[in-house]
Amino acid sequence: MHPQRYLLKFYYIGKKKYHGSQRQHRVLTIEDCIIKALKEKCYINTIESSGFEVASRTDKLVSARGAVFSVTTEKRPILMEINTALPREIGIWAHATVPTNFLSRFNALQRHYKYIMPIIGLKKYKNIDFKLMQKACDILIGTHNFSNFAKKDNSVSLNKRTIDSIKMRITSDFLIFDFKSRAFLRQQIRRMLKKILELGVGDITYSDFLELFDSSKSISYQPLRPDGLILWDIIYPENIKFKVDKKSKERMLSFFSEQEEKFVLKNFLFKLLRSHNNY
């Protein structure tokens, strides 16, 4: 079989043992596991010869539902075969054929992230101004210099990005944000949300928030915690058709169900312990 380039869609859970998604020296990452599985199942020999590339990088403890990597191989992908060489918290569930020169990172049209914030963590604040938080979301949409909303990175020369949309949704248990853009700066979403939350609880004023758009000033602060962030999906041109593998999808959903049951029980345990505090 002649070499063919593929896009493969995969999920992962950002456990503590993984130092983010991107390959690094002497520490375990999500990419390390995928590359090892591809080599073990004889899909690639080396990273260089296969043109292996991941479309989006995430920090430690960040998870993904629809991450994507591209690879060139002579072997037609059988996703469950690759998945047998992966831990349960990582799995490939769809693939598409693409032209030889297709790059998963630079040919992506849009990246969609979700951030999940538990309402219980906000109960210590009184009178949260959700309308003002929504106003902040709205003003972030469009093209801006986001240098004060991102981690300082000397390898990035241009800090302008265009945000397509930001949506905020409130449920009984969570505050859920959806961010869509072709590309984000490092920690951009978590830093934007840090300031949106500070604005909502009254720690900063709206004028303070607007000051962050002034790139002549350097404003330092820590981002929100990473474990609430999920790389939800990556969008490609309409002619790229992903085929979902039924067994791989079942494997993924089965793992999600098991984890959901595990954490629902643990969540209820602590809720029960907290409610009976008459010691």
Residue 59 near residue 22 (C-beta atoms within 8 A): no
| Dist. CA 56–CA 157, nearest whole Å | 18
| Dist. CA 95–CA 51, nearest whole Å | 16
Burial letters 76-94, b for 16+ CB under 10 A, else e: ebebebbbeebeebbbbbb
Our answer to whether residue 59 is catalytic in this structure is yes
Query: Which one from 32, 59, 214, 233 is the annotated catalytic residue?
Result: 59
Number of H helices, E strands in the chain: 7, 10
Residue 9 near residue 104 (C-beta atoms within 8 A): no
Q: What is the DSSP letter of 15?
A: -
Tokens of 232: 């939800």
| Dist. CA 154–CA 247, nearest whole Å | 43
Best CA proximity match to 179, nearest among 241, 214, 136: 136
User: Which residues partner with 72 through β-bridges?
Assistant: 5
User: Which residues partner with 113 through β-bridges?
Assistant: 179, 231
User: Which residues partner with 235 through β-bridges?
Assistant: 110
State the pairing for strand pair 229-235/63-73.
Answer: parallel
- The helix/strand/coil state of 125 is coil
Q: Active-site residue numbers?
A: 59
